[in-house]
């Protein structure tokens, strides 16, 4: 062994004083292990090196899973906070007109959707012209409309929340690519809170619906105060 080390003395002293500097660096350890395998020759199988490679791959998968779990938890917390703010806003109005204005204004912005429609079934629908004149999210439709609208996407009307891409005639203006349909139980009547997005991936069938179901239950109870 040469008495004159080839490594920079300061680097050498740092490694001797704190070997973890090298051991914790994946790239350096990978290079050292590869150099050791080359030094052993092609006729030697390094089982320890193979085990290390497998453990490293497993660690990488665990780290990816860990990051995915953290990201999902953050998204869930963010979504929960958004729904809570929207609910608080919906509980403030004392008049139906104010409720509709807040629903189509602040609540729509809080939910970050491009369109919001509150569909209520009636014996006689008012039509879109009246809705546009009032600048309101309220849409009056004939009885049976809500369940028919939900079935159009192949979903049973008993589902309280339906998430789907938009590929059919909708209650929104043009340009909406995905929607969340919240079925409202209003006692003897049925309603629908429809949230539309221009992003085709904003609402997808595999996404969770617990928070939206909670929002639907709040809207139901708020509407029963004025429609009961």
Q: What is the pLDDT of residues 50-74, one digit of tens each?
A: 677 777 778 778 877 777 777 666 6
Cβ–Cβ < 8 Å for 119, 191: yes
Query: Distance of CA 103 to CAs 1, 167, 216, 224, 227, Å?
Result: 80, 25, 12, 15, 16
Lowest mean pLDDT: which of 90-94, 192-196, 224-228?
224-228
> Is the model more confident about 90 or about 37?
90
DSSP letter (8 states) at residue 80: H
- Which CATH superfamily does the domain covering 82-227 fall into? GAF domain (3.30.450.40)
Token code pair at residue 79: 């979504």
- The confidence score (pLDDT) of residue 129 equals 41
- What does the pLDDT read at residue 131? 41
Q: How confident is the model at residue 132 (pLDDT cuts 50, 70, 90)?
A: very low
Sequence-distant (≥ 6) Cβ neighbours of residue 41 within 8 angstroms? none
Residues in the chain: 228
Please give the average per-residue pLDDT across 11-22, as a whole number.
Answer: 76
Give 130-155 as a 3 state SS string.
HHHHHCCCEEEEECCHHHHHHHCCCC
Predicted pLDDT of residue 19: 74
Query: Which comes out higher in pLDDT, residue 111 or 68?
Result: 111
Considering only 76-80, 152-156, 183-187, which range has the smallest mean pLDDT?
152-156
pTM above 0.75, yes or no: no
* Residue 125 predicted with pLDDT over 80: no
Query: Which phi and psi angles does 163 have, rounded to 5°?
Result: -110, 130
Stretch 113-127: mean pLDDT, rounded?
Answer: 81
How far, in Å, CA of 182 to CA of 162, rounded?
Answer: 7
What are the beta bridge partners of residue 191?
A: 120, 184
Local confidence band at 81 (pLDDT 50, 70, 90 cut-offs): confident
Cα–Cα distance, 162 to 52 (Å, whole number): 47
pLDDT of residue 4: 57
For range 198-207, the mean pLDDT: 90
DSSP assignment, residue 206? Answer: T
Mean pLDDT over 79-84 rounds to 85
The sign of the torsion formed by the CA atoms of 58, 60, 65, 70 equals positive
Looking up tokens 């369940």 gives 147
Looking at residue 169, the DSSP 8-state letter turns out to be -
For the chain, the domains span: 82-227
């Amino acid at each position: 062994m040469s008495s004159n080390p080839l490594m920079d003395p300061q680097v050498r002293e740092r490694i001797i004083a704190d070997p973890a500097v090298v051991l914790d660096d994946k790239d350096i350890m990978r290079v050292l292990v590869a150099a050791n395998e080359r030094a052993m020759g092609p006729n030697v199988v390094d089982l320890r090196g193979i085990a290390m490679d497998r453990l490293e791959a497993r660690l990488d998968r665990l780290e990816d899973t860990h990051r995915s779990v953290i990201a999902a938890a953050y998204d869930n917390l963010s979504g929960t906070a958004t729904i809570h703010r929207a609910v608080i806003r919906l509980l403030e109005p004392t008049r139906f007109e104010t409720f509709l204005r807040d629903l189509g204004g602040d609540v729509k912005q809080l939910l970050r959707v491009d369109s919001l429609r509150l569909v209520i079934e009636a014996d006689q629908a008012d039509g879109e012209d009246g809705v546009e004149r009032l600048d309101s999210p309220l849409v009056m439709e004939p009885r049976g409309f809500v369940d028919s609208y939900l079935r159009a996407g192949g979903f049973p009307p008993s589902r309280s929340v339906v998430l789907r891409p938009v590929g059919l005639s909708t209650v929104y203006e043009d340009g909406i690519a995905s929607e969340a349909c919240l079925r409202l139980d209003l006692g003897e009547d049925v309603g629908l809170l429809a949230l539309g997005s221009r992003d085709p991936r904003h609402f997808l069938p595999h996404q969770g619906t617990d928070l939206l179901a909670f929002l639907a239950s709040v809207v139901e109870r708020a509407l029963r105060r004025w429609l009961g």
